[in-house]
């Protein structure tokens, strides 16, 4: 799994604060990325509309680089994007682009070094240079992002779905393509529609899952998330089997071939002419689906892409002027009003109908029941799988149990430890349940104050309609509460953030292209300090709450919301490291990694996102620590070096203890001075593109 590595730049370690304009050789400005001749060259490949743009080209090149070792002349299957495959000229361009891209890698001989994203460096071992190059490639140019925003792939897909649909005769089966975001049988729109079609035609329904390790790598999936997906697939396979529905498994390393493989190989092998799937709103996934629909049409296959992931699909909430909304509060009010006026949004899809048992003796389909869910995906092995099984037990039944506990049992202290959330010893309560205390509980890390449903929602093991329909039942008037004055309402608001961030991502695809939502902050000058980044990742910053949360993250693949904000703010505003480095690391670590929510959280913290709060909101790490872990129990558990500390020292041992006593702890000194780093952040945000003198 690629890990992002920064290069130490001794100059950047200085924290002196006096104004200085960056020089043209600065290695840190994102401005340099999109102004570079290389990016202009690549932008030239981009045609408006359906052509692969730089973003896709980059991925194509990454994929090609990854497979180049295995590739031989006899392998005529090196196609990348479907559009590229079909058009030899475009393919040549992609190949040519690859060569030039390789030339563009940092090379001390010709003095070239990559720039941008706060991650560039001139010298270092080859491996490190490659990593820097990879993160650079994850940031689209401003031009490409603007072009994508102009006509978002979501709109393109919707136009495609509306137009040109033709009735297609029945095949021998109907297929449902399950994605890693809709791992359930209940309340699954595409699965239900596929089942309806299969019933109409009196043919079997086949479920299909396509593993795409190339996607998992490029999209920074964590091994914990992949492990969670595999475990849930095993549960699903058994359940589908009981309904005589096979779960057909395929795996393709070359991710950009997937549309072609599905349309030209898998579906013909199943005799299927109808494919149903739920839409994923990330830009790469939307483009994959556009390619699939188009290729389907060329090959007499009807591909239906349906909204399912959210309570309210993107595009349904507009301002009075009919414009998309980017500010949460008014958007949330409109969301709540819509659910009130149109309760159909909370209605669930019926379950699919079982196939006839005869499928198990059918020559074509019987063997599909033997398809195996792999033990692991290469490169995503998860040695902690057994332990994680306890912490994040798989299956809808477990998710429902978690929800039930959240609604009806009291919070318990110490449930932040590495233990099952469904362990015994809980107490039911009608008045003091976790959801009722959520207004205060959501800001605490010293117990099981929130629902812990995020891995299940992110993988679609449970749907947000299901949890909100249950939340609605808790209100005596049968209304969905969503005001900030009750725990229940506050929680519903929190769930609505999930819809909000997906709406913004579908409307402004720049968000999944590595660009800031507010382009004006693209040139904020970041530090390039590898040691600081590593200390943050390892939980060795000398700030106990940061270290506790980061160590918890590594062990559990999960953090409480408050510490996600505090650790993110620390990386961006205290260490002045590019928020995209943190975004990437969280994705690589979390069991609930989800682009929309993760990016939304990072851009919110970095003040580059949709939040109207100005950039000068900077968390004070110490105050946050005292508030979210008032007893220090969380810190004591995750940072054992501090387990014997009492009082204020647990939050700030370096300043609260005599120096010789502190030294005995074996715990690092703080790696930054909070006051100075705050001033630095304020300066750099206020003077975008500039660094202080001496920095
Ligand atoms: C920097 C940062 C990164 C984040 N990365 C992710 C991520 O990769 N995946 C993820 O699911 N959430 C992410 N979040 C949002 C939030 O922290 C988690 O959803 C929450 O902590 C999960 O705990 P829970 O299930 O107990 O949530 P609860 O408080 O019980 O909330 C219920 C559900 O609502 C949704 N939700 C709650 N808060 C948010 C939010 N701020 N944004 C979007 N959805 C929300 C989640 O699906 C959550 O499971 C991130 C937040 C920040 C600040």
Tens digit of each residue's pLDDT (9 = 90 or more) over 549-573: 999 999 999 999 999 999 999 999 9
What average pLDDT does range 319-344 have in this prediction? Answer: 96
Q: Which pair of structure tokens corresponds to residue 142?
A: 């401003």
pLDDT digits (tens, 9 = 90+) for 278-297: 999 999 999 999 999 999 99
The residue to mutate among 219, 467, 484, 601, having the most atoms of ligand 1 within 8 angstroms of its beta carbon, is 601
Predicted confidence band of residue 82 (pLDDT cuts 50, 70, 90): very low
Decide: 418 and 448 in contact? Cβ < 8 Å: no
Binding-site annotation, residues for FAD: 438, 450-454, 491, 494-501, 592-594
The CA-atom distances, in angstroms, between 570 and each of 198, 388, 575 are 53, 27, 6
| CA-495 nearest atom, ligand 1 | 34
CA atoms within 13 A on the CB side of 340: 12
Decide: 561 and 598 in contact? Cβ < 8 Å: no
Predicted confidence band of residue 345 (pLDDT cuts 50, 70, 90): very high
Q: Other C-beta atoms within 10 Å of 445: how many?
A: 26
Give the per-residue pLDDT at 136: 64
Query: Which of 299, 561, 620, 687 is labelled catalytic?
Result: 561
Decide: 621 and 546 in contact? Cβ < 8 Å: yes
Give the per-residue pLDDT at 72: 39
Q: What is the spatial distance between Cα 261 and Cα 275, in angstroms, rounded to a whole number? A: 13
CA dihedral 576, 578, 584, 586 (to 10 degrees): 30
Decide if pLDDT at 97 tops 90: no
Q: What is the DSSP letter of 79?
A: -
Parallel, antiparallel, or unpaired for β 247-251 and 173-178?
unpaired
Decide if pLDDT at 69 tops 50: no
Q: At how many degrees (to 10) do helices 54-67 and 283-298 cross?
A: 80
Give the per-residue pLDDT at 302: 97
SS3 306: strand
| Stated pTM of the model | 0.86
Instruction: Name the CATH code of domain 385-505 (choices 3.40.50.300, 1.25.40.80, 3.40.50.150, 1.10.10.60).
Output: 1.25.40.80
Phi, psi of 278 (to 5 degrees): -90, 145
For 326, residues 6+ apart whose C-beta sits below 8 A from its C-beta are 504, 507, 508, 517, 610
* Number of continuous H segments (helices) and E segments (strands) in the chain: 31, 7
Decide if pLDDT at 108 tops 50: no
Beta-bridged to residue 305, according to DSSP, are 277
494 belongs to the catalytic site: yes
Give the per-residue pLDDT at 61: 46
158-308+349-369: in CATH 3.40.50.620:
yes
Range with lowest mean pLDDT among 49-63, 263-277, 613-627: 49-63
More confident residue, 79 or 201: 201
526 belongs to the catalytic site: yes
Decide if pLDDT at 98 tops 90: no
55 belongs to the catalytic site: no
**In degrees, to the nearest 5, what angle opens at C-alpha 135 toward C-alphas 129 and 138?**
145
Decide if pLDDT at 89 tops 80: no
Cα Rg of the chain (Å, integer): 25
597 CB near ligand 1 (under 6 Å):
yes
Q: What is the spatial distance between Cα 179 and Cα 284, in angstroms, rounded to a whole number? A: 14
Give the per-residue pLDDT at 400: 98
The residue to mutate among 501, 597, 604, 617, having the most atoms of ligand 1 within 8 angstroms of its beta carbon, is 597
| CA-464 nearest atom, ligand 1 | 47
User: With pLDDT > 90 as the criterion, what percentage of the chain qualifies?
Assistant: 76
What average pLDDT does range 216-228 have in this prediction? Answer: 96
Decide: 152 and 315 in contact? Cβ < 8 Å: no
496-512 b/e (C-beta count within 10 Å ≥ 16 → b): bbbbbbbbbbbbbbbbb
423 belongs to the catalytic site: no
> Which H or E run contains 303?
strand 302-306
For 659, residues 6+ apart whose C-beta sits below 8 A from its C-beta are none
Residue 553 CA to ligand 1 center (angstroms) comes to: 14
pLDDT digits (tens, 9 = 90+) for 646-664: 999 999 999 999 999 999 9
Phi, psi of 195 (to 5 degrees): -65, -40
**How high is the ipTM of this complex?**
0.99
Residue 459 CA to ligand 1 center (angstroms) comes to: 13
Secondary structure (H, E, C), 254-292: CHHHHHHHHHHHHHHHHCEEEEEEECCCCHHHHHHHHHH
Q: What value does the mean pLDDT of the chain take? A: 84
Decide if pLDDT at 424 tops 50: yes
Q: Which pair of structure tokens corresponds to residue 313?
A: 């699909």
Give the per-residue pLDDT at 166: 84
195 CB near ligand 1 (under 6 Å):
no
Beta-bridged to residue 250, according to DSSP, are 210
Decide if pLDDT at 94 tops 70: no
Q: What is the spatial distance between Cα 518 and Cα 608, in angstroms, rounded to a whole number? A: 5
Parallel, antiparallel, or unpaired for β 272-278 and 205-211?
unpaired
Range with lowest mean pLDDT among 62-66, 134-138, 189-193: 62-66
Query: Environment class of residue 329 by beta-carbon count within 10 Å: exposed (0-12), middle (13-18) or buried (19+)?
Result: exposed
Query: Environment class of residue 528 by beta-carbon count within 10 Å: exposed (0-12), middle (13-18) or buried (19+)?
Result: buried
- The domain ranges of the chain are 158-308+349-369, 385-505, 508-695
Output the residue whose Cα is nearest ligand 1's atom 38.
Answer: 494
Instruction: Name the CATH code of domain 508-695 (choices 2.70.170.10, 2.40.50.140, 1.10.579.10, 3.30.470.20).
Output: 1.10.579.10
392 belongs to the catalytic site: no
Give the per-residue pLDDT at 493: 97
What average pLDDT does range 77-83 have in this prediction? Answer: 27
Contacts within 8 Å (CB) and 24+ apart, 361-369: 362/204, 364/172, 364/270, 364/271, 365/173, 365/204, 365/206, 365/246, 365/270, 368/206, 368/246, 368/247, 368/248, 369/241, 369/246
CA atoms within 13 A on the CB side of 560: 25
Say how many Å lie between the first and final Cα of the chain, rounded: 33
Give the per-residue pLDDT at 262: 98
Decide: 214 and 63 in contact? Cβ < 8 Å: yes
Decide if pLDDT at 112 tops 50: no
Range with lowest mean pLDDT among 126-130, 431-435, 546-550, 664-668: 126-130
Range with lowest mean pLDDT among 379-383, 415-419, 461-465, 535-539: 415-419
331 belongs to the catalytic site: no
Decide: 82 and 255 in contact? Cβ < 8 Å: no
For 457, residues 6+ apart whose C-beta sits below 8 A from its C-beta are 463, 464, 467, 498, 592
Give the per-residue pLDDT at 606: 96
Give the per-residue pLDDT at 135: 59
Q: Which of 482, 479, 505 is nearest to 493 (CA)?
A: 482
Predicted confidence band of residue 695 (pLDDT cuts 50, 70, 90): confident
Give the per-residue pLDDT at 24: 36
The residue to mutate among 492, 494, 570, 596, having the most atoms of ligand 1 within 8 angstroms of its beta carbon, is 494
């Amino acid at each position: 799994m690629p890990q992002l590595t920064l290069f130490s730049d001794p100059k950047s370690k200085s924290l002196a604060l006096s104004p200085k304009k960056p020089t043209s050789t600065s290695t840190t400005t994102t401005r340099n990325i999109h102004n570079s001749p290389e990016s202009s060259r690549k932008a030239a490949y981009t045609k408006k509309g359906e052509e692969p743009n730089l973003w896709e080209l980059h991925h194509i090149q990454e994929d090609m680089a990854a497979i180049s070792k295995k590739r031989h002349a006899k392998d005529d299957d090196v196609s990348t994007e479907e559009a590229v495959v079909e058009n030899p000229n475009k393919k040549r361009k992609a190949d040519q682009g690859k060569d030039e891209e390789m030339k563009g890698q940092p090379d001390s001989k010709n003095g070239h070094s990559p720039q941008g994203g706060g991650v560039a460096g001139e010298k270092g071992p080859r491996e490190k240079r490659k990593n820097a190059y990879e993160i650079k490639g994850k940031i689209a140019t401003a031009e490409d992002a603007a072009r994508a925003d102009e006509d978002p792939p979501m709109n393109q897909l919707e136009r495609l779905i509306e137009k040109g649909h033709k009735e297609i005769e029945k095949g021998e089966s109907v297929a449902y393509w399950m994605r890693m975001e809709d791992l359930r049988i209940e309340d699954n729109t595409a699965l239900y529609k596929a089942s309806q079609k299969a019933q109409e035609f009196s043919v079997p329904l086949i479920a299909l899952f396509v593993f795409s390790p190339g996607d998992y790598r490029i999209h920074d999936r964590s091994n914990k998330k992949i492990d969670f997906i595999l475990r849930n697939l095993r549960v699903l396979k058994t359940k589908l089997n009981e309904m005589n529905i096979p779960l057909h498994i395929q795996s393709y390393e070359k991710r950009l071939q997937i549309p072609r493989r599905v349309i030209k190989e898998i579906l013909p092998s199943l005799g299927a002419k109808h494919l149903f799937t739920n839409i994923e709103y990330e830009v790469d996934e939307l483009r994959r689906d556009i390619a699939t629909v188009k290729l389907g049409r060329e090959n007499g296959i009807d591909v239906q892409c349906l909204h399912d992931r959210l309570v309210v699909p993107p595009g349904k909430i507009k301002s009075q002027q009919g414009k998309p909304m980017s500010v949460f509060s008014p958007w949330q009010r409109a969301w709540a009003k819509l659910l009130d006026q149109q309760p159909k949004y909370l209605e669930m899809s019926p379950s699919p109908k079982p196939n006839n048992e005869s499928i198990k003796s059918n020559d074509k389909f019987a063997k599909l029941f033997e398809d195996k869910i792999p033990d692991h995906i290469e490169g995503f092995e998860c040695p902690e799988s057994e332990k994680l099984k306890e912490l994040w037990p798989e299956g809808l039944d477990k998710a429902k149990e978690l929800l039930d506990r959240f609604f009806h049992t009291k919070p318990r202290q110490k449930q932040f430890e590495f233990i099952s959330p469904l362990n015994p010893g809980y107490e039911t309560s009608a008045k003091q349940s976790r959801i009722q205390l959520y207004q205060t509980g959501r800001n605490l890390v010293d117990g099981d104050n929130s629902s812990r449903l995020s891995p299940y929602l992110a993988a679609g093991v449970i749907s947000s309609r299901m949890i909100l329909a249950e939340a609605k039942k808790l209100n005596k008037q049968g209304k969905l509460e969503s005001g900030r004055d009750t725990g229940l309402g506050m929680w519903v608001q929190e769930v609505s953030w999930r819809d909000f961030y997906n709406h913004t991502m579908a409307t402004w695809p720049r968000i999944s292209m590595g660009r800031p939502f507010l382009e004006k902050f693209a040139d904020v000058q970041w530090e390039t300090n590898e040691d600081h980044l590593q200390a943050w990742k390892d939980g060795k910053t000398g700030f106990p709450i940061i270290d506790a949360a980061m160590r918890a993250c590594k062990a559990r693949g999960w953090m409480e919301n408050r510490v996600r904000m505090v650790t993110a703010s620390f990386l961006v505003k205290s260490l002045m490291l590019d928020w995209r480095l943190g975004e990437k690391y969280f994705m690589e670590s979390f069991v609930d990694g989800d682009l929309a929510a993760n990016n939304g959280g990072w851009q919110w913290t970095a003040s580059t996102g949709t939040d109207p709060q100005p950039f000068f909101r900077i968390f004070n790490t110490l105050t946050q620590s005292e508030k979210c872990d008032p007893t220090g129990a969380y810190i004591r558990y995750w940072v054992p070096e501090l387990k014997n500390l009492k009082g204020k020292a647990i939050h700030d041992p370096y300043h609260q203890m005599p120096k010789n006593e502190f030294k005995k702890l074996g715990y690092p000194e703080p790696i930054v001075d909070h006051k100075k780093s705050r001033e630095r952040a304020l300066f750099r945000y206020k003077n975008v593109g500039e660094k202080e003198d001496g920095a």
